[in-house]
Amino acid sequence: MKRLTKKVMPIVLVFGILAAGCTQQEPPAKEEIPPVRTKVVASNTEGTPIVYAGEVIGRNESRLSFQVGGKITKRYVEVGDVVQAGDLLMEIDTTDLQQDVVTQEANIAAIQSNLQLAEENLQRYQLLLQSGAVSNVEVDSLQTARDITAEQLKQAQSGLERTKNQVHYGRLVAPASGIVSAIRGEVGQVINPNHPGSDVLTLVLDNEREVAIDVPERQLADMQNAGKIKIKFWALPDVTVDGVIRDISPVADKATRTYQVKISSPNLPQAVKYGMSATVEVYPANPSSTITVPLSSIYQTGNDSSVWVVQDNVVHLRPIKVGTVMDNKVEVLEGLNDGETVVTAGVHKLQPGQAVRVTTGGGQ
């Protein structure tokens, strides 16, 4: 029994040493401080603009159409072509009109023969009247017949001239020099002869360009009292030019119930082409000082909006009152002051009082 006890004791001692080693605590891991992108907010003295989508158009455009009906047989231009005054743009089939010309010319020839015969008969009867062989009534009747035939000739000649003009109207020519900006008529298309005049081509008559926007009627008063206007282009992100309102349509579009507003700019670069998409920012004439932050800065909980304000490298959740949302930015009406720093990315990963490492470049 004593031998057994001596063998067990060293084993118990070994397990005790191992247990003591296992209970020894390791040093705590160092807490990682996350980096956050930030922006220093500042008041905007220009005010909050109203943003509209626009399109580059020509200042003077002419919608061209045929004055007669028929099938379009030829088209000589494409969109973007530069044309000169008198250039042929399109043609329609005028075969029927040309046949009408031939028929009317033959009719005029027949009337001219009748008129000549009436003149000769009248002259003979006037000689016979002097000798008393015929009466005044007979002479007057021949003179009336001669006058009626002469009027018929005038009417036929007028009809022939009108038909020749219609043949000429089958050729659509440029009224002035310009650029073809739109084509709505194609070869094979039939122009209704009973309703001619539908435009088939749009010609920009000069090289002056402007931007057109559509404004709802509730914002029309703001346009009439607008301040500064800035124009940007989707295809030219580095181009921003100042604009001025040139014309406000007095009549609303029947379909959209909006008013077209044309904005001109004397500094449009040549890279701006007809039909390009544009963004127009219209600033108030008497702006109030406002603060804007990137839309990504907003921490939304239900109907409440907040931002993370960084103070001494620690974030604090600050409730704010938001206003107009515009171009990935939002207007802050209450809750922020000039010079404060807000987090602009990853706002849903932070906790109040959390230490952060500030970086810049996340704002707009």
For residue range 110-137, list pLDDT tens digits in order: 999 998 998 988 888 888 888 778 788 8
Q: Determine if the pTM surpasses 0.75.
A: no
- Domain encompassing residue 119: 95-167
Is pLDDT of 360 > 80? no
- Strands 171-173, 178-183: parallel, antiparallel or unpaired by DSSP? unpaired
In this prediction, residue 72 carries a pLDDT of 92
DSSP element (H, E) containing 202: strand 199-204
300 and 352 both lie in a single domain: yes
Number of domains in the chain: 4
343 and 303 both lie in a single domain: yes
- pLDDT (average), residues 265-294: 85
218 and 126 both lie in a single domain: no
195 and 217 both lie in a single domain: no
39, 329 contact by CB (below 8 A):
no
DSSP element (H, E) containing 353: none
Closest CA to 326 of 364, 277, 354: 364
Long-range contacts of 305-311 (CB under 8 A, 24+ apart): 307/332, 307/335, 307/336, 307/342, 307/343, 307/347, 308/36, 308/342, 308/343, 308/347, 308/350, 309/336, 309/340, 309/341, 309/342, 310/36, 310/38, 310/341, 310/342, 310/343, 310/356, 310/358, 311/341
In a domain, 253, yes or no: yes
Quick one: tokens of 297? 């800065």
122 and 163 both lie in a single domain: yes
279 and 212 both lie in a single domain: yes
In a domain, 19, yes or no: no
Is pLDDT of 24 > 60? no
| Percentage of the chain modeled with pLDDT above 90 | 35
- ∠ CA 219-222-223, nearest 5°, is 90
80 and 174 both lie in a single domain: yes
Mention every residue, 6+ apart, whose C-beta is less than 8 A from residue 245. Answer: 223, 226, 229, 261, 262, 263
159 and 109 both lie in a single domain: yes
- Strand partners of residue 308: 317
- pLDDT (average), residues 213-232: 88
Per-residue confidence at 33, pLDDT binned at 50, 70, 90?
A: confident
Coil/strand/helix, residue 320: strand
186 and 77 both lie in a single domain: yes
Q: pLDDT digit string (tens) for 67-89?
A: 888 899 999 999 888 899 999 99
In this prediction, residue 283 carries a pLDDT of 87
Is pLDDT of 357 > 60? yes
Residue 154 Cα distances to 108, 110, 122, 146, 252, angstroms: 9, 13, 20, 13, 48
In this prediction, residue 31 carries a pLDDT of 61
Look-up of token digits 């390009």:
276
